[in-house]
Amino acid sequence: MKTIAVMSPKGGIGKTTTADSIAYILGEEHGKRVLVIDGDPQGDTSKTFGAYEPEGIGLSELLERHVNVGGDYRTSELIQTTQYEHIDIIPANGYLMRTDMNLLLKQEENQVTRLRDALTEVSGAYDYCICDCGRLLDMVVINILLSASLVIAPAKVGGFENEALRNLEEQVEDLKEVNPDLKIKVVMTMRQKNKTSLDMELWLHEEYGWKMFTTPIRRSIIAEKATMSMKPLPEFSKRGIVTQDYRNMVEELMREV
C-alpha cells in the first residue's frame, strides 16, 4: 500500500478537492483498492464520501483507542465501506481536535507513529491510502506524514506560496528522522491562463527548485459546484476540465509511486 498525504499549511487551497479526486480516479476509474483517511476535523472528505457523522467513530478512535495502545479497536473495525466499490474510508469529525490535544498530552513514545503502526494491519488489502490533511501540522497530521511516502502540496497563484511551501518543507525535514523517504511534490491548483499564473509556476519550479506535477489543475466553477453537491469532483463532472486535469495528474502519480 502506497500512502500519500495531501497537505499544505494554507486553507482553501484545494487539498480536499485534490485528495478526493485522486482517490476517486484511482479507485473508480483505475480499479485500484483505495483507503481514504480523513485527517481534518472539519470532516470534508468524510462528507464527500458519505461517511460524515458528528458523533461517529473513525480516525480519533484509531489514534486513541487501538488495541496497539491498549484500546479496544482494530484498524479494520474503523474502516467503513462507501457507495464506491473500490473506496473505503476512515472518517473524521470535530473530535479529531481533542485527539490532537490528547496525543500531545500523552508524551508517549509511539504518539506520532500510531497511524503507521495501525495501518500495517491492512496494508495488504489496499493499493493506495490517500490522506486529506487539515491546515495545521498537529499530532494527527504528523501521524499521517510519518505514514506517507509522498506529500502532495497544492499551491495557487496569489499568496505567499513559496513561504508556505518552505514551511512545509522544514516540517517535513524534521520528520525525516523518523520517515527518511518522505518526499514533497507540488501541484498547481486553481490555475488560470494568464501571465502571472504561468510565471508563478516557472518561478516555483525553476527559481526555487520545487518538484512539481507537470499537470496544473485549472480553475473552474465546476469544482465549487462539486464541493457544494458533496460528491467527488470526477463523479460530479465526468468530462469537465478539472477532472481531466486530475486524471492526467493521477497518471503522473501512478508512474511515480
**What is the per-residue binding string for ligand ADP in 8-37, x denoting contact by CB under 6 A?**
---xxxxxxx--------------------
Strands 80-81 and 150-155: unpaired
Q: What is the nearest approach in angstroms of Mg ion to the Cβ of residue 19?
A: 8
Per CB under 6 A, the list member of 217, 249, 250, 253 interacting with ligand ADP is 217
| Stretch in the footprint of ligand ADP (CB under 6 A) among 6-14, 113-121, 167-175, 193-201 | 6-14
Helices 221-229 and 15-24 cross at an angle (nearest 10°) of: 80
Q: Is 188 in the site for ligand ADP (CB under 6 A)?
A: no
Task: Decide if 257 contacts 74 (C-beta within 8 A).
Answer: no
Nearer to ligand ADP, 202 or 228 (CB): 228
When binding is defined by CB under 6 A, the residue of 23, 89, 223, 253 that contacts ligand ADP is 223
Q: In whole angstroms, how close is the CB of 142 to ligand ADP at the nearest point?
A: 18
Whose CB is nearest to Mg ion? 16
CA distance 197 to 213: 15
By the 8 A CB rule, do 232 and 23 touch?
yes
Site size toward ligand ADP (CB under 6 A) is 17
Beta carbons of 46 and 91 less than 8 angstroms apart? yes
Min. distance of Cβ 244 from ligand ADP in angstroms? 11
- What is the dihedral angle through the alpha carbons of 152, 156, 160, 161, rounded to the nearest 10 degrees? 30
Binding footprint of Mg ion on the chain (CB under 5 A):
15-16, 44
DSSP string, 156-188: -TTS-HHHHHHHHHHHHHHHTTT-TT-EEEEEE
| Cβ-contact 54, 42 below 8 angstroms | no
Contact partner, 237, from Mg ion, ligand ADP, none, Cβ < 5-8 Å per class: none
Confirm or reject binding of residue 82 to ligand ADP (CB under 6 A): no
Contact set with ligand ADP (CB under 6 A) = 11-17, 44, 189-190, 217, 219-220, 223-224, 227, 242
